[in-house]
Each structure stands twice: as structure tokens, then as C-alpha cells.
């Protein structure tokens, strides 16, 4: 059984585990639960995430790293340690105090009702505030457009945000305006019960021309700023792809237009998967290793593309409140459409 109670400012068990260099854990909530001997033996983070469905495994890992999980009064930090039987306390901190400010930024709204809003995000706009992108984000624009109606489930820094696309990826994105819609949309994403199609313009073309890329993706062991296909660890990542067009010689295309249907949604998934097939997104500054042909370079320069050529074209799902089947499609933005036109002449 899980017992919830308000958390008073309480000294942590070890000075080494003090959050944010403070002497006390800030007020929040404490979850108390007991693990019986037959529940012990598995990985600690996985066991606790299964015991507390409200907390994801990643959240458990972060709380462990901050020294906010105790067993019989002693702080635990090793997520990979074996779970032991006993009485656990999970100290949940309060939400971050920083609140994004509303900004009058134009939005392309594809659909909106009392429960959710679907927008066509331009390239160059971050979804939510983060270091280096504190202002000018989609959240700032939505706070101005929606006022106080955004769901609070995502926290003060990410109100209503259910999923993200990269700052320099354009396309369709749904945001929750009510907590009920947020929970319902989150369940759809967790179950992979949505239709998500991206269009990529790539250097060369993958072989075969149609298939499924199924790997594990996690932080690169060589560069922590990049994601990579891993042999072990990471998270399962599945992308279904199909080459829609090739450009240049048919037997050795210099570029391609590829439709990618996501089954999972990991960080940089499509970019990493296409690069792993030897066909990275054109213009990708992180995963676009290898130079395109001179003709493709010229097309890139003339098109004005200054980012990875990746666009979230289609988003389809069942409305989590009304049950209505919804499907939204966004045309290629000007920079990608221009590049495709120029490639077609090769």
C-alpha cells in the first residue's frame, strides 16, 4: 500500500545527498510504501516504478540521484542496485518555481477545442523553455494564446506539453488544455496508439527502400550531447520507413524523400535511425556525417535550408475526451519544399 502525506522541510540522512546545496529538503510530498520479500530482488528503479505507477522509471532514477529515496531511513542512490525488502520513503519535491511568461507569438492553429490544441510548429522554435531557449518557445506562445487554460500536469515549465519535436524540426504537435486530456493523450503516446508520420530529405537513400529500423537508443558513450544506437542499455526505438522519391541516378541516388512512421518516440529517433542506415537528414548538424555531392550542396545553399530537413507531417489520434477520430496534415515548409524542388532537377 502507498501512503501519501505532505512533506515538511526535513533534513536528509547525509550531507552528501542534500539537494541544490541546501540543508533541508523543501516541502512537497512523501510517498511511503513497503516491499515484501517476494517483491525484492529486481533492479531498484524498475521495482519502485512498478510499485508506484504515478512515477516513471526515469523520475525514480532522478529522485535516487538526488538522495530523495530512503530505505529504513537511509538514503539510496544506486538505481541499478537490487531492491530490498523494507519500508521506503520517496520524497517528492514541489514544482520548480520558474514560470514561463506569455508572449504574443503568432501560432498556426490546426484545431482547438476546450480540451486540446493542435499547432503547426515552425522550425527554430523550441517547444518549452530550456537553457539557451528561455523565451520565444511554443509554451510562451501558448500561454498568451490559451491564457490559464493549459493543463498543469506537465508542471509550471511545461504546461500542457505531452510530446516534443526538436527545435529545428517543423510540424504538427498536440498540447493538452485540461488535465483529463493530458492524461488521455499521455496514455495514447505510452501505448503508441497514434499515427505519426515525418518526412525527411536525406543524403543518399537507405537500402532496402522500405523497412523497419528496430534498435536501442541512448546517450552516445563517446559524446554525451548526442544520441546513438546502442548494443545494450538505452530504450527500444522503432521506426517504419519508406522511400517516396529518389533524386539523381536511379542506381545510386544522391538524395531521397523518406516517409518515417514512428512506433516509439525517443529523442532524435528518426535522425539517429536514418543516419544508422547511411542516409542522414540533409542539413543535420549533429548526425549528418559525410558530405553530400556538389550538386546537393548547391541545392542546399539555394534552398535556404539552415536546419535538418525533417518535418512532422501527419498526426492522427482519437480525441481522449470526445472519442472523435482526428487527423492533421501539414505541408512541407518553404525551405524543405524549395530543397525538394531543386533536388528534383538533378
Catalytic residue annotation: 166
Nearest residue to 94 via CA among 33, 12, 157: 157
Q: In the sheet where 69-71 sits, what is the strand order?
A: 3-7, 28-35, 86-92, 69-71, 74-76
Residue-wise DSSP of 41-63: SSBHHHHHHHH-TTS-HHHHHHH
CA angle 215, 279, 211 (to 5 degrees): 50
Q: Which residues pair with 189 in a beta bridge?
A: none
d(CA 335, CA 307): 9
Nearest residue to 299 via CA among 331, 336, 271: 336
| Residue corresponding to grid cell 501527419 | 314
Amino acid at each position: 500500500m502507498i501512503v501519501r502525506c505532505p512533506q515538511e522541510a526535513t533534513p536528509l540522512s547525509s550531507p552528501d545527498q542534500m539537494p541544490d546545496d541546501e540543508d533541508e529538503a523543501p516541502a512537497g510530498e512523501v510517498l511511503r510504501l513497503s516491499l515484501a520479500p517476494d517483491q525484492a530482488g529486481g533492479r531498484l528503479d524498475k521495482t519502485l516504478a512498478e510499485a508506484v505507477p504515478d512515477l516513471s522509471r526515469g523520475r525514480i532514477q532522478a529522485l535516487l540521484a538526488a538522495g530523495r529515496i530512503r530505505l529504513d531511513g537511509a538514503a539510496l542512490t544506486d538505481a541499478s542496485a537490487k531492491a530490498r525488502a523494507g519500508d521506503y520513503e520517496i520524497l517528492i519535491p514541489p514544482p520548480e518555481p520558474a514560470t514561463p511568461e506569455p508572449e504574443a507569438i503568432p501560432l498556426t492553429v490546426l484545431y482547438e477545442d476546450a480540451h486540446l490544441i493542435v499547432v503547426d510548429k515552425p522550425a527554430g522554435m523550441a517547444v518549452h523553455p530550456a537553457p539557451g531557449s528561455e523565451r520565444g518557445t511554443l509554451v510562451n506562445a501558448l500561454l498568451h494564446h490559451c491564457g490559464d487554460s493549459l493543463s498543469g500536469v506537465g508542471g509550471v515549465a511545461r504546461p500542457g506539453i505531452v510530446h516534443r519535436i526538436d527545435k529545428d524540426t517543423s510540424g504538427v504537435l498536440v498540447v493538452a488544455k485540461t488535465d483529463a486530456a493530458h492524461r488521455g493523450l499521455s496514455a495514447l503516446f505510452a501505448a503508441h496508439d497514434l499515427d505519426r508520420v515525418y518526412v525527411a530529405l536525406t543524403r543518399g537513400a537507405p537500402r532496402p527502400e522500405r523497412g523497419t529500423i528496430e534498435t536501442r537508443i541512448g546517450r552516445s558513450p563517446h559524446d554525451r550531447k548526442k544520441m546513438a544506437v546502442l548494443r545494450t542499455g538505452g530504450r527500444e526505438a522503432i521506426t517504419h520507413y519508406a522511400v517516396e522519391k529518389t533524386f539523381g541516378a536511379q542506381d545510386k541516388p544522391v538524395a531521397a524523400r523518406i516517409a518515417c512512421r514512428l512506433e516509439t518516440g525517443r529523442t532524435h529517433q528518426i535522425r539517429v535511425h536514418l543516419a544508422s542506415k547511411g542516409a542522414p537528414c540533409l542539413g543535420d548538424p549533429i548526425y549528418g556525417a559525410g558530405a553530400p555531392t556538389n550538386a546537393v550542396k548547391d541545392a542546399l545553399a539555394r534552398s535556404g535550408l539552415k536546419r535538418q530537413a525533417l518535418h512532422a507531417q501527419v498526426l492522427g489520434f482519437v480525441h481522449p475526451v470526445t472519442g472523435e477520430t482526428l487527423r492533421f496534415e501539414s505541408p512541407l515548409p518553404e525551405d524543405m519544399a524549395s530543397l525538394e524542388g531543386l533536388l528534383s532537377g538533378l
